[in-house]
Structure 1
Amino acid sequence: MNLDDAAAVKALDTTLTSIEKVMDVDRLARSIDELSEAASAPDLWNDQENAQKVTSRLSHAQAELKRIKDLRQRLDDLEVLFELGDEDPDTYLEAQQELLGLQKEIDAQEVRTLLSGEYDEREALVTIRSEAGGVDAADFAEMLMRMYLRWSERHGYNTEVYDTSYAEEAGIKSTTFQVKAPYAYGTLSVEQGTHRLVRISPFDNQGRRQTSFAGVEVAPVVETSDHVDVDEKDLRVDVYRSSGPGGQGVNTTDSAVRITHLPTGIVVSCQNERSQIQNKASAMAVLQSKLLERRRQEERAVMDALKDTGNSWGNQMRSYVLHPYQMVKDLRTNFEVGNPSAVFDGEIDDFIEAGIRWRRSTEAEAASA
């Protein structure tokens, strides 16, 4: 093994050792034992909601521990592979490729250790709304919805769409869905803000270039330990008939529910269940998540004002350009790629990782100011 290769392997070993310490592998193993015991309880499924949480956390913890152990084993094997490569050019080429693969995966794992915020380990509630740009904005909002659902699918995360309001000509006015995976909130929270699309409009018969906007909002899913006070007197509850694309009726009864929180003006809807009672319960859970996120943002705003950092959260953060060139660029991190099709198909991990690193460095700068 030459000096450059040895230095690269040593650097990876240092990073992985740091990750193992931060994740506390021994504590993670103990947690798996405790969750396994809870999952084997004969009365577990008497409470389906709790059972799903236990099994989800167990699956996540097992996957995390396996990922760390696999990385450690591959790193140990890599040193042997480089030694064998001293005698065989093909084996050396294989070692080089494995080195590049390990660097990418260890970097991605390092990013996960940066998710240490109060709600980062929660599941995520994502809301997407079309903004300026008419029918193009509605179409763009639907493209973003598909992008995040495809990203979730690529990672094996379950999702549940609570409500989708379809636009008349094409696309959607808004949608709200939940990403059911631990740390989904911490991961997706860096996607919050205004997204911008530039393209030749497929809805313009003169083929003119159109700029449109869509807003993404991400909130942590509430848990029973959260204290979010909602006074029934502050709510207006409306029921209506569920509808699909083009305004067609989905249900023949008024089972969809819309709740307006009068003090804040927050409006949430749910139409995915057949029962009005179930839809109201789901809508209340969404409302509580939004109120929790609003409280978190207000607390952050107070701290930012005290520190006078000038940080801008929730402003325009990414541009998707399809004409006159092909590029997707994050305006905060300057990370960019030249393949918008892959991005819209859910390949956004690099953007998310860059966003998490940017957020952590921004917070560190603010703390030291």
Structure 2
Amino acid sequence: MDVPAELKELSATLASIEAVVDLDALRREIADLETQAAEPTLWDDVENAQRVTSRLSYAQGEVRRTEDLRRRLDDAQTLYDLGVEMDDADSRTEAECELVSLRRAIDELEVRTLLSGEYDAREALVTIRAEAGGVDAADFAEMLLRMYARWAERHSYSIDALDTSYAEEAGIKSATIQVKAPYAYGTLSVEQGTHRLVRISPFDNQGRRQTSFVGVEVLPVVEQSDHVEIADDDLRVDVYRSSGKGGQGVNTTDSAVRITHLPTGIVVTCQNERSQIQNRASAMNVLQARLLERRREEEQSAMNALKDGSNSWGNQMRSYVLHPYQMVKDLRTDFEVGNPQAVLDGEIDGFIEAGIRWRRAAETTPA
């Protein structure tokens, strides 16, 4: 190993990561989040409190991880220089071993900087569905559900089980979990597609080899609120006299209100209340509801586009072979390991990192 060249290359890679991560901005964000977290009323709004604490934990972890790598790299440089100066072979060997570990850790951190898609920073909804293969597919689906749960556990990510449909004989028909961690969607999105298992079926009395298939769908968690901001400049408000039945006061004042939302062309009217102020408030409530529904429809369309568009990455994207040999191989990246049990126990970071790099290369390669 050319240690000086390796040290120089790793230092340059880490410097580019530090620039992308923007440690100073993260430290400012941490200070702000710590102030919010110290507020006595923080947990009055549980959803906001969870967002604040989750983001704080993530930001602190990012800074700590990056600073630790820089410290280790500096220590390795010092150790190697000391070994050369003192002609100490043990120090030089120790520095070389540390560089191997550092290369792996820095490569892993570098992958995170490739997650720059519009939804990549979101939490993830992972849905696992048994496809062809009968009871073996249902059993395989449960194996994959456990795999993602163990992966999340290894990274100290919390998950919520949102829905599970159990199969009659064994395993599951489908399950949906929410992985509650920043960048969970960007990280896990490369897991989307069809996973294939080849093994001797434990459900076949004749011990025959069975191939089964499970579909994995990964979507970002949609961030919604029940309030839509409406700029005054986007509204045209017309007032006119109420018409029709209404009793005293109708047709005597300009109390009816028509509001046009200029960007969308949505028009709402209200004339049921006696005062213009009340009618305007009621009309705004109706407009809010219509705009919220419109936004939800657009978000659903965006989710469907993500789902449909990901098929180009999917189909049979990974094979898990337990017989006649032992191997797990990603069919897009050719990344493979010879220990399927470790993979099914949640050791999938190598596949995820290879998938993210493969996707970025595909996105940046001219058609």
How many angstroms does 1:224 deviate by?
Answer: 2.0
How many angstroms does 1:225 deviate by?
Answer: 5.9
Deviations 1:109-168 (A, max 9, x none): 000000000010000000000000000000000000000000000000000101111111
How many angstroms does 1:31 deviate by?
Answer: 1.0
In the alignment, which residue of structure 2 is the partner of 1:331?
A: 331
How many angstroms does 1:30 deviate by?
Answer: 1.0
In the alignment, which residue of structure 2 is the partner of 1:19?
A: 17
In the alignment, which residue of structure 2 is the partner of 1:279?
A: none
**Identical residues among aligned pairs (%):** 69
Which amino acid is the alignment partner of residue 21 of structure 2?
M
Matches within 5 A, 1:123-138: 123-138=123-138
Q: How far apart, CA to CA, are the structure 2 residues paired with 1:222 and 1:132?
A: 30
Q: How far apart, CA to CA, are the structure 1 residues paired with 2:299 and 2:317?
A: 23
In the alignment, which residue of structure 2 is the partner of 1:224?
A: 224
Q: How far apart, CA to CA, are the structure 2 residues paired with 1:27 and 1:136?
A: 49
SS for the counterpart of 2:120 is: coil
In the alignment, which residue of structure 2 is the partner of 1:278?
A: none
SS for the counterpart of 1:111 is: helix
Stretch moving more, 312-321 or 204-213: 312-321
CA contact (8 A) 1:123 1:183 kept: yes
How many angstroms does 1:93 deviate by?
Answer: 1.8
Q: How far apart, CA to CA, are the structure 2 residues paired with 1:165 and 1:208?
A: 27
Matches within 5 A, 1:214-363: 214-224=214-224, 292-297=302-307, 300=309, 312-363=312-363
Which amino acid is the alignment partner of residue 22 of structure 1?
V
Q: How far apart, CA to CA, are the structure 2 residues paired with 1:343 and 1:111?
A: 19
CA contact (8 A) 1:221 1:289 kept: no
Quick one: structure 1 residues 135 and 45, their matched pair in 2 at CA, closer, same or farther if it must change by over 3 Å? Answer: same
How many angstroms does 1:313 deviate by?
Answer: 2.6
Which amino acid is the alignment partner of residue 75 of structure 2?
D
The structure with the largest alpha-carbon Rg is: 2
Quick one: structure 1 residues 84 and 119, their matched pair in 2 at CA, closer, same or farther if it must change by over 3 Å? Answer: same
How many angstroms does 1:335 deviate by?
Answer: 0.3
Asked if 1:77 corresponds to 2:87, the answer is no
Asked if 1:213 corresponds to 2:223, the answer is no
SS for the counterpart of 2:350 is: helix
Q: How far apart, CA to CA, are the structure 2 residues paired with 1:177 and 1:158?
A: 10
TM (norm. structure 1) is: 0.77
Asked if 1:175 corresponds to 2:185, the answer is no
Stretch moving more, 171-180 or 219-228: 219-228
Q: How far apart, CA to CA, are the structure 2 residues paired with 1:295 and 1:321?
A: 32
CA contact (8 A) 1:219 1:289 kept: no
How many angstroms does 1:84 deviate by?
Answer: 2.3
CA contact (8 A) 1:78 1:99 kept: yes
Quick one: structure 1 residues 227 and 342, their matched pair in 2 at CA, closer, same or farther if it must change by over 3 Å? Answer: farther
Q: How far apart, CA to CA, are the structure 2 residues paired with 1:289 and 1:188?
A: 20
Q: Can you give the 5+ residue segments of structure 2 that lack an aligned partner in the other structure?
A: 229-296
| Count of equivalent residues | 298
Which amino acid is the alignment partner of residue 187 of structure 1?
T
CA contact (8 A) 2:138 2:170 kept: yes
TM (norm. structure 2) is: 0.78
How many angstroms does 1:292 deviate by?
Answer: 4.4
How many angstroms does 1:314 deviate by?
Answer: 2.5
Q: CA RMSD in A?
A: 2.2
How many angstroms does 1:289 deviate by?
Answer: 7.9
CA contact (8 A) 2:219 2:307 kept: no
Q: How far apart, CA to CA, are the structure 2 residues paired with 1:289 and 1:226?
A: 14
SS for the counterpart of 1:114 is: coil
CA contact (8 A) 1:222 1:288 kept: no
CA contact (8 A) 1:321 1:327 kept: yes
